[in-house]
Every structure is written in C-alpha cells, then in structure tokens.
Amino acid sequence: MTTASRKSWGPSTLAVHAGNGPDPATGAVMTPIYATSTFVQSAPGVTTGWEYARSGNPTRADFERALADVEGGSAGFAFASGLAAEATVLDLLAHGSHVITSQGLYGGTWRLLHRVRNHSANLSVTHVDASDASDPAALEAALTPRTAMVWVETPGNPLLDIVDLDAIAAFARGHGLLSVVDNTFASPAVQRPLEHGVDIVVHSATKYIGGHSDIIAGAVVVGDNAELATRLGFLQNAVGAVLDPFQSFLARRGLLTLPLRIERHAANALKVARFLDTHPRIERVLYPGLQNHPGHSLAMRQMANGGGMVAAFLKGDATAVASFLQRLRLFRLAESLGGVESLVGQPWTMSHGSVAEEHRLAIGITPQLVRLSVGIEDADDLIADLDAALG
C-alpha cells in the first residue's frame, strides 16, 4: 500500500488498514504478539531487522506505524505509559531549558515538569491560559533566551479549554521552538495537530486509543521531520520505557474501532452536556460542542466534534459534591477516561491532586468541579443516572 493511497483514506479505513499490514512471516491478518526478548542473528551484526526487543518488536512496530498513519505523521513511538512518553519527549531538551505551556495540563504532566524536571534538569516553565496560548503577543511575552519548547493540551484537562493549533505551530516555527500537543482528550479521530504544523503529538494511549480501560500505554508521533524522528527513536531505545508486546497488541486492537467509538462518545457527551446545562443544581457546564463554550467556534474549526469529555461545576459545598458522586450508578468514580464505560472524577482530589493548591485555584479548579468521561452506553440511561444523582 502506498503512502499516497493511505493519505486519501477516510479515518475509519485508516484505523483498520493502517500499520504494516498482514504479518509477513505467517500471513496473519492481525500482527501476532511476538513475546520474545531477542532475535537470532545469522552472523554478528547481521539481523532480520530485529535484534533486541527494547530496540524494536514487530507487535510494537505495527502499533507505532498504525498510530503514525492515523495521526498523519511520519513515525510513531510507543511507551509504557503516557508519562513515560512525555518524559522521553522532554529528554529532547538541553539542561536548563525553558518551556511555555498551557494552563490546562494533566496533573501528572504538571508534576513531571514542576516536581521532577525542575531539579533533575533545571527545567523552568511558564504557564499561559488558553486565550494567551492562541495570542502571539502573549506568547512573545513568555519567551526567554532559554525557551526551547511550547507544550499545550487542547482540549485542556480538566477545564476543556481550546488552544489554536495553527497559532501555536506558527509561533513555535517562527522562533525555532519545538511544538508539542497532548492530543489525549481529543484523539486523532477528533483532531490531528500535525496537519496544523505541530512537530510532536503525545498521547496517553491508555485512554481513547486503548478505549477499554485495560491497558497502560503512551505514544509519541512526529510529523514530516526525519531528524526529529531519529532523535526520538534514539531516546526511546536509550531510555528504554517501551511498550510491551501484549499491551501493543491491545493498543492496536483499540485503534481499529477508535473512529466508531468516538462518534458515540461525542454524540452522548453532547446530549449529557445539554442536559446538565439546564439543570438547576449545575452552576456551569464546559463542553466544546456547546455554543456557550468560550472556545466553541475555534473547536469546531479544528475538531471533528466536541469529543467525549464534559466538565461541570456543581452548586453546593464539598459534601454535596461527594453525595452526588456516591449516588451515581452508571458513571463510576475512578481515575482515567476514554473507555467504553462512563467514568466520573473530581479533579481537585484525583487527576489534579498533585498540583499545588494555589495553582489549582488560580486556574479555576475547585472541589465543585466534576469531570465526566462519557461512555458509549445509551444516552438516556446516562442522563437518568445523572438526574437521579443530582436529586
């Protein structure tokens, strides 16, 4: 299959047929799980293309190629977790570098930047809000002589703020910076940042890509930049936080149905958001597919739909929020997101509990905020569950 033909395929065709194709050794339609640590060499240094499983494994390579195709990138790299992927991307930076990031970051990313790399690599960080992250003048103001990277999430976690991908890519390119977009909340079925000129996309593949709450995985995809792909390939092997063959197999299987699942996630999320937006016990709803979302018009330009995540602020105190969470039956109180089942979380204590309290409050994360990962169940059942819990 030629690259040109793949570029003409629709997202569902790509999800099914991307990657390396049938297994060349056996003709298996799906690449088997190659559970081996090493490969025989016919002579010293003469290999079949495989030598040691940390450096490369056929099962992992098929997932990496497939995800790169689906994201519209040139090369993909799979890691043992989303944070392992992010840590390896940060290894591209020299000691003492400065990074400009959006405020809407996953709590684990914030912890990695502020509580690990700040002292291990003397990394410094400037956060800008979503509107500033789309404003070249505001980004210019955040520049320092050591700035090397711009890192954003869009939609942001957990407040679903939207950042202009074209603006970020243009700013980074104009200043010789690397641009990184965490595409976990959207997935490539909703938006493809590389098509906007972004250099690197990162994923917690645990979420929508895996899609079934049964794997822990991370991934990085790069655009048409062979030198950057070579550097990331070196770091993946040198640091060694690679995805194992079984998790790679499951991640590739999840990718097969990603566009189909996302259609249902997004349709359900829009119905749930509309219901919550009119409920008397809800203070405010944030969902990019609602016209009252501050980033709605931008989201509809760069996203295929509003995605499957909904954020809502409940009226009342912490006790009222806890009561709501405990009364839910279909929405299960758990970390993570993006699985076929609906999950609910309180970012204040869960996904963003490691973020400094003053920073949480400064960006609008309060105990009243709940984050809904809307699954693929029947929307009427999900709405009835929320209605009953809200009482």
Going from the C-alpha of 43 to that of each of 48, 50, 90, 228, the distances in angstroms are 11, 13, 37, 31
Residue 34 catalytic? no
Q: Taking residues 19-28, what's their average pLDDT?
A: 90
Taking only the tens place, the pLDDT of each residue in 58-105 is: 999 999 999 999 999 999 999 999 999 999 999 999 999 999 999 889
Instruction: Report CA-CA distances (Å) from 164 to 139, 161, 296.
Output: 12, 10, 11
Alpha-carbon distance 126 to 134, whole Å? 15
Q: What tokens appear for 339 in the block? A: 């699985």
Indicate which residue of 54, 146, 173, 253 is catalytic: 54
Annotation says 327 is catalytic: no
Mean residue pLDDT of the chain comes to 95
Rounded to the nearest 5 degrees, what angle is found at the Cα of 78, between the Cα atoms of 75 and 79?
A: 145
Q: How confident is the model at residue 5 (pLDDT cuts 50, 70, 90)?
A: low
CA atoms of 134 and 316, how far apart (whole Å) = 34
| 378 labelled catalytic | no
Phi, psi angle pair for 200, to nearest 5°? -135, 135
Pick the catalytic residue from 129, 164, 182, 385.
182
Q: Which phi and psi (to 5°) does residue 216 adopt? A: -120, 120
Q: How far is CA 169 from the centre of its chain?
A: 17
pLDDT exceeds cutoff 80 at 269: yes
DSSP letter for 354, please.
T
Q: pLDDT band at 1, cuts 50/70/90?
A: very low
> Is it the case that residue 181 has pLDDT exceeding 80?
yes
Give the CATH fold of the 10-256 domain.
Aspartate Aminotransferase; domain 2 (3.40.640)
Catalytic residue among 65, 111, 192, 207: 207
Query: For the segment 320-344, what is each residue's pLDDT rounded down to a tens digit?
Result: 999 999 999 999 999 999 999 999 9
Please enumerate in sequence order all residues whose Cβ is within 8 A of that of 40, keeping only pairs 6 or more positions apart, or say none.
Answer: none
Q: Class assignment of domain 259-390?
A: alpha beta
Whether residue 248 contacts residue 57, with contact meaning beta carbons closer than 8 Å, is answered with yes
Of the residues 34, 65, 69, 106, which is catalytic?
Answer: 106
Pick from 22-26, 151-155, 375-379: least confident = 22-26
Give 20's DSSP letter: S
Give the strand pairing for 124-128 and 75-79: unpaired
pLDDT at 70: 97
Share of the chain above pLDDT 70, in %: 99
- Tally of CB atoms within 10 A around 361: 12
Mean pLDDT value across residues 282-311: 97
Domain boundaries, given as residue ranges, for the chain = 10-256, 259-390
Residue 2 has pLDDT above 70, yes or no: no
pLDDT score for 20: 87
CB 64 within 8 A of CB 23: no
Pairing of strands 98-102, 218-222: unpaired
Concerning whether 54 is annotated as a catalytic residue, the answer is yes
pLDDT band at 309 (very low <50, low <70, confident <90, very high): very high
